[in-house]
Amino acid sequence: MKKILEVIAIICLSIIIVLSLAGCDEGQSVPDFGYSIEYNKPDITVLAKGVPKYSYFYVVDNKTGVVYIQFNSEYRAGITVLVNPDGTPVLIDQIKREDSK
């Protein structure tokens, strides 16, 4: 019985060694999903201050000035570009409040 356990242990150890040595090599293809560290992080400003749990707020792309509206809640969130009635995107200058005169 002891001999059988030794044989089983040797077989298991051999399998573990073979599996640990079999890994990915350089010739294996890796799917490219279009993500890269070469891309810049988004340059945005979030216009929200002390927002409640369920809230809408503006997100502005600092490079283009385009305004997005974002919704956050406990289990849901969404973001979309804000558009004018003619379909053109709303720009930051259009949502800025004018100083009272």
Is 24 within the bounds of a domain? no
Is 3 within the bounds of a domain? no
C-alpha distances (whole Å) from 27 to each of 12, 21, 23, 32 are: 29, 16, 11, 15
Is 81 within the bounds of a domain? yes
The pLDDT of residue 66 is: 93
Q: Whole-angstrom Cα distance, residue 17 to residue 6?
A: 16
State how many domains the chain has. Answer: 1
Q: What is the mean pLDDT of residues 13-32?
A: 59
Instruction: Count CB neighbours of 50 within 10 A.
Output: 5
Is the pLDDT score of 2 beyond 60?
yes
pTM: 0.53
Q: Whole-angstrom Cα distance, residue 48 to residue 54?
A: 12
Is 36 within the bounds of a domain? no
Is 100 within the bounds of a domain? yes
Is 94 within the bounds of a domain? yes
CA terminus-to-terminus distance, the chain: 98
Q: List the domain range (segments joined by +) for residue 80.
A: 42-101
Is 2 within the bounds of a domain? no
Mean pLDDT of the chain, nearest integer: 76
Is 70 within the bounds of a domain? yes
Q: What are the pLDDT digits (tens) for 35-64?
A: 556 667 777 888 776 667 668 888 899 999
Identity of the residue numbered 27? G
